[in-house]
A and B are shown apart, each in its own frame.
Chain A
Amino acid sequence: MSAVALLSVDDIHAAYQPGVDILQGMSLAVPEGGFVLVIGPNGAGKSTLLKTVFGLLGPHRGGIALGGRAIAGLAPHEIKRLGVSYVPQELNTFPHLTVEENLRVGGWTLRHDKARLRERLARIYDIFPVLGQRRRDKAGSLSGGQGRMLSVAREMITEPRLMLVDEPTVGLAPNLAAQVYELLQTARRSTPTAILLVDQNVADALPHAEDVVMMNLGKVKAAGPRAEFPEQRVHALVQECLLG
């Protein structure tokens, strides 16, 4: 990984219930503009890692820094203001709001800068014309793929420095899954943003990543550039995690 880390997570421990740590000394770094893929078996703590970075869960030990600034313990809206976006696993659009209202809701940090918000909206409609065509429709009427597009586009509104993406292809048809990874690459190229992706869909996600982190039982099992993670090694590692 490159020397300049945008995000550095250092030996964090976090729990939903006191005494039951899900993250048990997790560390990783995401370089500026990088694409880091986190893989690992179910229950490894991958989603918890993203929630902890975004401030939805407070670590009780260890540090998290964004561009050298400590962010552990900050509230999600404060972390968002520093340029971090979070796309959770479940479809997270607001079904009763229109497509455009959903996008504007994503622009909370730009709410006092109307001109900039308008310009960003126009740019989003440029990149994703279908969202422009359906901007007055309720988000609840979008298809699964369009809904996912909307949730990623909504995060792009603020042009984040880092996007935390949790299992973006869960429940999507295989052809849509490929589109979602393209979507993330589009976001990365147009913003430009670094991506920390958590995914079970290793085969499809791996080709897009620059660095890979394999997690097990709340900490790193293996990490390195993608080239060090050919499919056979990933399989062997997963097997090792599952069988002990």
Chain B
Amino acid sequence: MDTGREERASTDVRELFRLHYLALVCLAMRLVDDQESAEDLVQDVFVGLTRRPVVLDDPIHYLRRAVVNRSRSMLRRRQIARAFWARRQVLDPGEPADESSLQHAARQQMLHAIARLPRRQREVVVLHYYEDLAVTKIAEVLNISPGAVSSALNRALGSLALITEDRHAD
């Protein structure tokens, strides 16, 4: 790649960073639980793009996919941290003053249940209910078939339904 193209690619990466960094950090937080790790992995995605500039037809699609892949690597490195302390770090930021503790507890219960789903189910739930992606789009991001996405989503909903049922039974 010549110097001019490198400079333009670098500029493009910075523009992508400006446009999408916050949203990708928010997505990554739902996959790796804490903000510091989320920012770190999203930074890695952009640094990777700076090193190996590529032509992106659909940048946000590419970036989402890269974030999901890097979140898997990160979780692999610190499985135990995820299990017992990371999810307390950010997903339990303290109760807002204008919210009942019951609602807050219910949300935390749901977040913990999502965090404990098998990896693919968690990714599908986050991409569908947080990113509002359709099944076909999720299939592209995760590089799996739409059927596999639907299946994972159904199983996840089945597991998460137990949470709400338990709560209502209390």
Say if A and B assemble together: no
B interface residue numbers (CB < 8 A to A): none
Binding site for B on A (CB under 8 A): none
